[in-house]
Each structure stands twice: as structure tokens, then as C-alpha cells.
Amino acid sequence: MSSANHNFINGAWVASRAGRTYEQKNPADLTTVTGLWQKSTADDVNLAVEAAAEAFASWSGLSVYQRAGHLKKALALMETHRDRIAAVLTAENGKTLRESQAEIASAIKEMDFQIAEGVRMGGSVMPSEQDGVFAYQVRRPLGTVAVIAPWNFPFNVPCRKVTPALMAGNTCVLKPAGLTPGVGAEFVRVYEEAGLPAGVLNFVTGSGSEIGDTLVSHPKVKAISFTGSTEVGTAIHQKAAAALTRTQLEMGGKNPIVVLADADLAAAADSAVLAAYACAGQWCTSTSRALVEKSVLSEFLDLLLSRVGRIVVGKGTDPRTTMGPVCGESQLRNILAGIEKGKAEGARLLVGGGRVGEGDLGRGCFVEPTVFADVRPEMFLAQEEIFGPVLSVMAVDDFDEAVRVANGVRFGLASSIYTRDLRKAMTFAEKTDVGLTHVNMPTAFKEPQLSFGGVKLSGQGTPEAGRSGIEFFTEHKVVYVKYR
């Protein structure tokens, strides 16, 4: 094992002051340690925040074109190093190399858009009521911001958050998920190689429960952008409120696909399988409920099960694999516990339902693609995010019941309806309580030029991405000038 990897503070790779490290283990084979990482403490976080705060004046003093210049170099280096980054992503997260490449490609597209948005970020001029007064409004950066990233999109999510933050002129402290420090380090390395000035982007690894509070409560941190669980996001919001620090929270989901009797059922089954099992069901926009009109339920189930049967579970590095392991032991435990609850509450297990434990795969965190039927709205399987390869199929009498059931959860991230009836499609789009919805498209579909964020317990604050991406990282200033 090579020596431990470091934090990145004020332009240098440095060890934690406390000298503690932890091991990251490959979820496809828990006996493989991919690297040693700093188990940082509050001291390290404080140093990182101070470095970022120190760098703020000069970074925000650059023209937006100069900032864009730095970020464009980093963007080009992501292209250059995409194979290396994908290998780290698959080793730490477990997703297939194809999925890792897709994540990086998507990060590059989002970054490209957010750089352009940053350059275009202007203000507005309004006529004044006063004679000889010129009044205008500009946006300005907040200062130092914190980005707390998840392990499910450990490259794309930091990219989506850090790009608008830096383009607006903020400086940043990035805390990657404990499970994916190496991907975070790859993200930081492209900026380092691009020559980003010291202190503009800092990186501290370690456990969120140990260092999170220091980062969230630091008086010099002016905003927190977080992706992860609803529980941690809610706690961050409460702590941040004490100092009126703004938050942007992207959290859990229980995303439904509604399949009506008139739908293209094969397309609906393709969509459900794609969005339920890609990345082993660990997208925040994964489909976890299929709400199917009774008259087509058995036909839909046949189509669904034949597709699920073709999923090849294996290591993400094996080109034959279509579904990799789940990300780590605690995910494995929680997902299997969720499946057991589903069995106990009387849902009908159609396929899967256990760990893939044979041979080589027995050393990893592999879960069978799982389908439950006869799931009722009040059940755990219908209400709680499992964040694994588990799809709950629920029968509904008609469109109205589908809408009611779709909305009858605490979450509101994504949804989808499959139908050829324009009236029902548009009515669903109007009534579904989510941040993004789809007609005849998977729940996970998204594009960088449109906002991304949930409602209810799925999201809080100005949404990421699209034109709102940069809004979160800026505040407004109004200027009145009397010239006559």
C-alpha cells in the first residue's frame, strides 16, 4: 500500500494535523483497499476555510473571463484524464466503467454550460422615479462556500456545484463523501493542473459526522450546497440557520413511474428497468415505484421481468456487467434490511431479494435486482427510499388514483408518466408534486440547461444546474447614482 493521500489546502497537498487516516475499500471486493485517506478533524477544516477566505479577495477581483479561463482549462483536463478518473470512480463507487464514463461526460456538459452562464451573469437596469438617477442591480459572490458531496455521483455533483460557485467569484471548500475520496481528489487535481490560484478550491476528506458541524457552522462559510440523505440535509439546514447561512439541499426521493393502460408498455418497461437498476438503483432520480393501471398489470410485469432477467450483475470493470455492486457495506446492509421489511410486510417478491454471494462476487457488495409486486401505498416499500436495486410495483385503478398514490409520499424529486393521452399527460405534469417530471421518459432524465432539484423532503433552496445554478451562489446589490 502506498502512503496516505492528502487534503488539498491553500494549493498544497497536506496531511491532517491529527495524523489519522482511514481505508477506502472497493465495493466490488471489500478485501481490496483502494487507498488511505486523511481522517481530518475540525483543525483541518478551519485551515481550509481560512485559506478559502484568504483567497476570496483576489479570486473575486479577477474578471469573469479570467475565471472562465481557469475553469475552461480544468474542463479540457477532465476530457484528457477521463479514463483515469473513470477507473477511480468504478473502483470506489462500484458503478460500471460505462456508467463512470457517462458520469464524467455529463459533468463536462454541465460544467461547460455553467461556465457560459457565469460569463453571461449580468445585472439589470431599471428606470428610477427620480430625475438624474441611474439605478441598477448587480449580482456578487457570497465569499467562501462549502460543498458537501455524495458518493453516488462523486464527480458530477461536485462539478455541478463548484463550477457556478467559482464562476460567480466564490472560493470553496469541498468535502467528498467518505466512500469516494479518490474521485474528489481527481476532481481537485484537474483544477490544480489547470493552475487555479492557491486557496480557491480546497479539499478535506474524513467523516461527515466528525467534521461536518465545523464546516457547516463556520462563520466564514456563507453557503452550503449539499447532496445526500434527507436526515443529514435537514440537520445541516437547522445548524446553518443559526448564522443565517443559506443552504441548497438535494436529498432523497421515492420516484414513481406511472404506466397507464394506453401506454407503449415496452417503452415503459425499458424506462423502469433503466432508471430502477442503473448504478444499482443509487441515483437520487432512480425509479423506485411503478404505478400500473390494473388492466395492463400482468402484461407490464411480463415485459418488466424479462428485462430484469437480462441484467448482468458483476464487477464494474467487467465489460459484460450491466449492474455493479452497491456502494459499500452500510449500503448493502441497509438495502438488504429494506428488502426484508418488504417481505415481512407482505409484498410479493417476484425476483431477486438477496445478496449475490457466489464465488468472487461474495467478497463484494452485490445485490440481486429485485422486484416486488402487490405493494400497497402505506407499506415501507412504497414510502421509504431504499437507494438500491429494488422496484416496487403497485396496481392502481385509474389515472386519478395514480396521481394520488404518486403524490402520497414525503418526497418530491422526480416522476414520470407513460401514456398516449395528452390530456392525462399534461394533467399529470400539472399535478405531480416534484421538482422534475417526465412524459414518456425515464424519471432520471435531465439536461444541464434546466434546473435540478426537488420539493417536499427531496430538496430545499434554489435548485442546482440550469439558469438557477449560479443564482444560489450570489447575492444582489442595488446601486443608485445621482448624476444631475
Binding site for ligand NAP (CB under 6 A): 148-152, 175, 177-179, 207-209, 212, 216, 227-229, 232, 235-236, 250-252, 284, 331, 334, 385, 387
Phi and psi for 113 in degrees, rounded to 5? -65, -45
Q: Where are the beta strands (DSSP E) in 51-170?
A: 124-127, 133-141, 144-148
**Long-range contacts of the stretch 475-478 (C-beta < 8 A, 24+):** 475/139, 475/140, 475/141, 475/142, 476/137, 476/138, 476/139, 476/140, 477/137, 477/138, 477/139, 477/140, 478/135, 478/136, 478/137
In angstroms, give the least distance from the CB of 484 to ligand NAP. 53
Nearer to ligand NAP, 148 or 196 (CB): 148
In angstroms, give the least distance from the CB of 371 to ligand NAP. 19
Nearer to ligand NAP, 152 or 468 (CB): 152
In angstroms, give the least distance from the CB of 153 to ligand NAP. 7
Catalytic residue among 159, 172, 284, 365: 284
What 3-state class would DSSP assign to 252?
coil
In angstroms, give the least distance from the CB of 252 to ligand NAP. 5
Nearer to ligand NAP, 76 or 455 (CB): 455
Which letter, b or e, does each residue of 251-269 get, where b requires 16 or more Cβ atoms within 10 Å of its Cβ? bbbbbbbbbbbebebeebb
Nearer to ligand NAP, 169 or 461 (CB): 461
**Residue 447 one-letter amino acid:** E
In angstroms, give the least distance from the CB of 367 to ligand NAP. 12
Q: Among candidates 351, 275, 277, which has minimal Cα distance to 313?
A: 277
172 is catalytic: no
* Element (DSSP H or E) covering residue 310: none
Distance CA 414, CA 194 (A): 36
Nearer to ligand NAP, 171 or 288 (CB): 288
Nearer to ligand NAP, 301 or 332 (CB): 332
In angstroms, give the least distance from the CB of 250 to ligand NAP. 6
Angle subtended at Cα 420 by Cα 418 and Cα 423, rounded to the nearest 5 degrees: 100
**Residue 416 one-letter amino acid:** S
Q: Are 11 and 177 in contact (CB under 8 A)?
A: no
In angstroms, give the least distance from the CB of 326 to ligand NAP. 9
**Residue 268 one-letter amino acid:** A
Distance CA 157, CA 176 (A): 10
In angstroms, what CA-CA distances link 35 with 4, 22, 38, 185, 301? 7, 8, 10, 12, 43
Nearer to ligand NAP, 183 or 292 (CB): 183
Q: How many CB atoms lie within 10 A of CB 3?
A: 9
250 is catalytic: yes
Specify the residue for cell string 461556465.
Answer: 115
Nearer to ligand NAP, 288 or 474 (CB): 288
Catalytic residue among 110, 117, 192, 250: 250
In angstroms, give the least distance from the CB of 27 to ligand NAP. 13
**Residue 215 one-letter amino acid:** L
Q: Are 148 and 226 in contact (CB under 8 A)?
A: yes
Q: Where in the sequence numbering do the catalytic residues fall?
A: 250, 284
